[in-house]
Amino acid sequence: MHFGGYDSAIEASFFIEEDALRRLRPGCHDERGFLDVFDCNRDVICAAAAKVYVRGSRGSYDMVAGYFSKSA
């Protein structure tokens, strides 16, 4: 799943792997479920994105399961 984030006028693209979304909600297996996981965990996902983002470093970031604790 892709989503965009902004730092002033700078846009960064983030890709969350399916395993990362499953870490947030085990058993998720379809597009509707992944979208629901994203919506329900938006704050957790944005916080993780903020930790990996480095201004001016690159345009896209891959977010893997290890970025999210199993208790998130």
Each residue of 11-51: pLDDT tens digit?
Answer: 899 999 999 999 999 999 899 999 999 999 999 999 999 99
- Domain membership flag for residue 32: yes
Q: How many domains does the chain have?
A: 1
Residue with token string 């970031």: 61
- Domain membership of residue 52 (yes or no) is yes
Q: What's the predicted TM-score (pTM) here?
A: 0.81
When pLDDT is cut at 50, 70 and 90, the band that residue 71 belongs to is low
The predicted pLDDT at position 6 comes to 87
* Domain span at 54: 2-67
Contact 6, 50 (CB under 8 A): no
Residue 20 maps to a domain = yes
pLDDT for residue 61 is more than 60: yes
Beta carbons of 26 and 70 less than 8 angstroms apart: no
Residue 72 is assigned to a structural domain of this protein = no
- Residue 66 CA to residue 57 CA, distance in Å, equals 21
